[in-house]
Structures are given as structure tokens and as C-alpha cells.
Homo-oligomer: A and B are copies of this chain.
Amino acid sequence: MTEQTPRWLNPDERRVWLRLSALMELLPAALDAQLQRDADLTKTGYLTLAMLSEEPTRSLRMSELGARSNASPSRISHVVSRLERGGWVRREKSPDDGRGQLAVLTDAGWDKVVASAPGHVERVRQLVLDPLEADDLARLDAVVVKLLDVLDPDARFAATALARQV
């Protein structure tokens, strides 16, 4: 029999939850602020460029790009449009599938990633990697894997699939 009446949070749970809520608000905001200021890019915009830059072909289907950038179809479409306006990305029809679109990183887009990556990576180090011991990092990773497993049971997002392979 599952417990039907909602179980309230005990003080320990409440504390963890409030802290985690704060983290989920503050960490993305801090990273967005850095990228906005230094590169005029959103976190998702940056990640999108980064993901494209790691492909041998420097291109990816919209849906795959969304999966890697943690973005819904609607969102990735907007993000790519914005990047396209900036000249960092262009769209191409997919050769295999008439419905499909390819997002292709332009040369300017490549330069953009190269230019903005160091500053962003440095900020990620400052805020996340450096404050944690190797142990902490491993534990955090294990916890995050468990949470992603529940959040994204069908592994629609690349990070969840990654979690299951490794």
C-alpha cells in the first residue's frame, strides 16, 4: 500500500530542499550573467554552439541538438534562430529526412565558441569545480545521475543517456 496522505517535509529534508532550490536559482543565474556580459550569449545558446563545435561535421539535427542542449523543440528552434541572426549558425535541409533540419556551425560561430569558452569554463571552475574536492565531485555526480534517471526516464536528453552508459 502506498502512502496516500501527503508526507510533509521534516526539518532535514526541508533544509536540503531549500538549499537546493537556492542553488538551482543562483547557479544558472550566475552563469547566464557571465555569458551575457562577456559573450552576449545565453547558457543554452552557448551550449548549443559548444555541442555543434564538438561534432566532426560541425552540424546536428535540430532534435539531437535540443537533446544535447537540454532544450525542448520549441526552445531549440528559437535558440537556433537567434544564433542564426548573429551569424554563428545556419540551417540546412536534412538530406536523409525531408522533415529534418540541420543546424550548421559557421566559421564565425566556431570563432565565437573558441573566444567565449575559456571565460565560461573559468567561471564554471570558480563556481563549481574548484570549491569541491574530488570526493565531493564523485558524490555529486552519483546523486545527479539518480535524479536525472527519474526526471528523464526515457533518456530524451543526452546527459541522461550519458549517465546510463558510463
Contact = CB atoms under 8 A, between A and B. Distances in A.
Interface of A: 6-9, 12-13, 15-28, 30, 43, 47, 70-71, 117-119, 121-122, 124-129, 131-132, 136-137, 139-152, 157-160, 162-163, 166
A27 B151 contact: yes
Contacts of A47: 21
A127 B147 contact: yes
A12 B117 CA distance: 18
A89 to B, nearest CB: 20
A13 B138 CA distance: 10
Grouping DSSP codes into helix (H, G, I), strand (E, B) and loop, the A interface class, with mixed when no group exceeds half, is helix
Given A143-B140, A144-B19, A131 B159 contact: no
Contacts of A20: 128, 140, 144
Contact of A136 (B19, B146, B158, B163): B146
Contacts of A118: 6
Given A128-B147, A139-B143, 8 more contacts: A6-B118, A8-B121, A16-B137, A16-B140, A19-B145, A19-B159, A22-B159, A140-B143
Contacts of A137: 12-13, 16
Candidate in A25, A145, A160 with the most chain B CB atoms within 10 angstroms: A25
Given A15-B162, A17-B128, A166-B15, A23 B151 contact: yes
Contacts of A132: 143, 146-147
A166 B12 CA distance: 10
